[in-house]
Chains A and B, each alone.
Chain A
Amino acid sequence: MGNASSMLTQYDIEEVQEHCHYLFSQQEIVALYNRFCQLDRSAKGFISSDEFLSIPEFSLNPLSQRLLKMVDGLNFKVFVAFLSAFSPLATVPQKIELIFKVYDVDGKGRVTFKDLMEVLGDLTGSFMSEEQREIVLSQVLKEAGYSRDSPLLLEDFMKVLCKPGVTMEVEVPVD
């Protein structure tokens, strides 16, 4: 399956489907494969950062650099697993888990104040100063009962975001 010019076999599709916990239908996986091959222009078996950035809408996203760290060099199976959090069938905890991973991009298992500052920095750019961001984050953390010195864990994210939940859905165009 690594060679992009080969067709997906039924066995491949089922393997990918299992890996993404059946959050995509087989048709959607085939459609995603066509898309994957379209983006992976040199048929290497993974999509490089450059190829992601050639999608203008992606390159214009404030979090594109952070996301690139997560998606760069993924093979098709893991690519689909990454996108599965955006499936309408994905549960709210699964979506929250992805959000946690975007914050905790180096995978240490906790989100530090520095991570929060980085993401807020990506989202606000030069329109908020470092001090302003620190003040805002410290204030909202304190109000929610957290301190800026202790990192946030996945359970904390679940607690904060689960009510009223998170909608984060993307439709895979199936022709």
Chain B
Amino acid sequence: MAGLATSSTEMDLDRPNIDEYLTVESIREAPKKLHLRDLLDISPTLKEAAGAIVDDSFTRCFKSNPSEPWNWNIYLFPLWCLGVVIRYGILFPFRVIILVAGWIVFFAAFSLVHFLLGEHNKWKREIERKLVEMICSVFVASWTAVIKYHGPRPSMRPQQVFVANHTSMIDFIILEQMTAFAVIMQKHPGWVGFIQKIIVESLGCIWFNRTEAKDREIVARKLREHIQGVDNNPLLIFPEGTCVNNHYTVMFKKGAFELGCAVCPVAIKYNKIFVDAFWNSKKQSFTMHLVQLMTSWAVVCDVWYLEPQYIRPGETPIEFAERVQDMISVRAGLKKVPWDGYLKYFRPSPKLIERKQQIFAESVLQRLEEK
């Protein structure tokens, strides 16, 4: 319905199609005379509420599904114990050493280049890019990541953005090790924020703040500026806006799709047998998440670089976003869900309740006329 207008001052669901998903059960077929029981019978509304309490498709997207424990009998258990010893006692320290060594080299080289070479020295950017790719490879090695890339490698051209589904911050690292992307990211606190500031800045990143409403316009402008620049790194955007558990995809925000340039979809699917890469930011800090990855056997995933898409004539950015979401979901074997990922942080817009109320009120008034 065209009634849901987006305003930049509200946290709105800019998705009309969500109305199809919410059942409106109070529509009567033909207006009949109104009786007391029609007003007393609130059972359809109660049913919807109870249905939502019992199970809802939004919460399902963010559930970390624990895998079946396989160490349950007398033979498997000692094997598992041995595995734990190897993972925590041998692999983990080894990986930490690699990581620390990598960081030391990186910081040394990066500081040298950053402070010694001049501001606009063209070598500076090249070297910084290569260094970032290197540290990402170090990270990737520290999880023994087995990553299979499918499809042509992203090229550095203007007028293109890359979009990918989002499971954890490591998505960025996995993609970054192959190509130095610039990203648009939410600023994080702690040591992650520090790294973001120093290193990721050199790639040409754009910051946003979920909690700032006016932010959208500023960010849209920055995005447009970035893709014009010939020299800028290709831009990577995660249009879901939040981490999802790699079984579902939530609504792709239209921001990336209304820039008037090519959109190159990237699909990422993690193999859960080895580790569940979903970063449940409500349950774990990023540090704990990394430790969990480093004490598992491996991170196994597939990355598909899909064909660049352009907006079709007569297609709205929202429809374009949905089309690309379909492409990525099908490629990675994920289920599509129309909810906005930001509902994790904000309440839904009251406009949707108002729609239901309006339908019911009109039906009551109409039936009141019938005699």
Q: Using a CB–CB distance below 8 Å, which chain A residues touch chain B?
A: 32, 35, 38-39, 41, 52-64, 67, 71, 83, 86, 95, 98-99, 102-103, 116, 119-120, 123-128, 132, 136-137, 139-141, 143-144, 146, 157, 160-161, 166-173
> Which chain B residues border A168 with CB–CB below 8 Å?
43-44, 46-47, 50
- Proximity bits, B37-56, A CB within 8 Å = 1, else 0: 11111111111111111111
| Bound CA span A161–B36, Å | 9
Of the A-B pairs whose beta carbons lie under 8 Å apart in the complex, a sample of 20, sorted by A's number, is A32-B54, A35-B54, A41-B282, A55-B56, A58-B56, A61-B353, A95-B43, A99-B41, A116-B39, A125-B358, A136-B34, A137-B39, A140-B36, A143-B36, A161-B41, A166-B43, A168-B46, A168-B50, A170-B47, A173-B55
Taking the closest CB of chain A, its distance from the CB of B13, in whole angstroms, is 9
> Which chain A residues border B365 with CB–CB below 8 Å?
128, 132, 136
- Proximity bits, B350-371, A CB within 8 Å = 1, else 0: 0011101110111011001000
| Bound CA span A41–B339, Å | 21
> Which chain B residues border A55 with CB–CB below 8 Å?
52-53, 56, 58-59
> Which chain B residues border A160 with CB–CB below 8 Å?
36-37, 40
Nearest residue, chain A, Cβ from B352: A60
Is B348's beta carbon under 8 Å from chain A? Answer: yes
Report whether over half of chain A's contact residues are helix, strand or loop; otherwise say mixed.
helix
B41 touches A125 (CB 8 A): no
Residues 19-41 of B contacting A (Cβ, < 8 Å): 22, 34-41
A102 touches B46 (CB 8 A): yes
Q: Using a CB–CB distance below 8 Å, which chain B residues touch chain A?
A: 22, 34-59, 63, 282, 339, 343-344, 347-348, 352-354, 356-358, 360-362, 364-365, 368
B50 touches A125 (CB 8 A): no
A139 touching B368 in the complex, CB below 8 Å, given contacts A58-B56, A62-B45, A67-B49: yes
B54 touches A173 (CB 8 A): yes
Taking the closest CB of chain B, its distance from the CB of A98, in whole angstroms, is 7
Report, nearest first, the 8 A-B pairs whose CB atoms are least far apart.
A125-B357, A127-B361, A57-B52, A124-B361, A144-B36, A168-B43, A58-B52, A140-B36
A56 touching B348 in the complex, CB below 8 Å, given contacts A125-B354, A137-B39, A161-B37: yes
| Bound CA span A132–B368, Å | 10
Taking the closest CB of chain A, its distance from the CB of B350, in whole angstroms, is 9
Taking the closest CB of chain A, its distance from the CB of B282, in whole angstroms, is 7
B34 touches A140 (CB 8 A): yes
> Which chain B residues border A173 with CB–CB below 8 Å?
54-55
5 extra interchain contacts, Cβ-Cβ under 8 A, other than A124-B360, A136-B365? A57-B22, A61-B353, A123-B360, A144-B35, A160-B40
| Bound CA span A38–B63, Å | 8
| Bound CA span A95–B42, Å | 11
A127 touches B358 (CB 8 A): yes
Taking the closest CB of chain B, its distance from the CB of A127, in whole angstroms, is 4
| Bound CA span A116–B40, Å | 8
> Which chain A residues border B43 with CB–CB below 8 Å?
95, 99, 166-168
B63 touches A141 (CB 8 A): no
A125 touching B47 in the complex, CB below 8 Å, given contacts A56-B339, A57-B56, A161-B37: no
B50 touches A86 (CB 8 A): yes
Taking the closest CB of chain A, its distance from the CB of B48, in whole angstroms, is 6
| Bound CA span A56–B338, Å | 12
A63 touching B51 in the complex, CB below 8 Å, given contacts A41-B282, A124-B357: no
| Bound CA span A124–B45, Å | 12
Taking the closest CB of chain B, its distance from the CB of A74, in whole angstroms, is 11
> Which chain B residues border A63 with CB–CB below 8 Å?
42, 45-46, 49
Taking the closest CB of chain A, its distance from the CB of B360, in whole angstroms, is 5
Nearest residue, chain B, Cβ from A41: B282
> Which chain A residues border B347 with CB–CB below 8 Å?
53, 59
| Bound CA span A63–B38, Å | 16
> Which chain B residues border A166 with CB–CB below 8 Å?
41, 43
> Which chain B residues border A120 with CB–CB below 8 Å?
39
Taking the closest CB of chain B, its distance from the CB of A110, in whole angstroms, is 14
A146 touches B36 (CB 8 A): yes
- Chain A CB within 10 Å, residue with most, of B22, B38, B354, B360: B360
A61 touches B361 (CB 8 A): no
Nearest residue, chain B, Cβ from A168: B43
Nearest residue, chain A, Cβ from B38: A140
Nearest residue, chain B, Cβ from A47: B53
A172 touches B54 (CB 8 A): yes
Taking the closest CB of chain B, its distance from the CB of A2, in whole angstroms, is 20
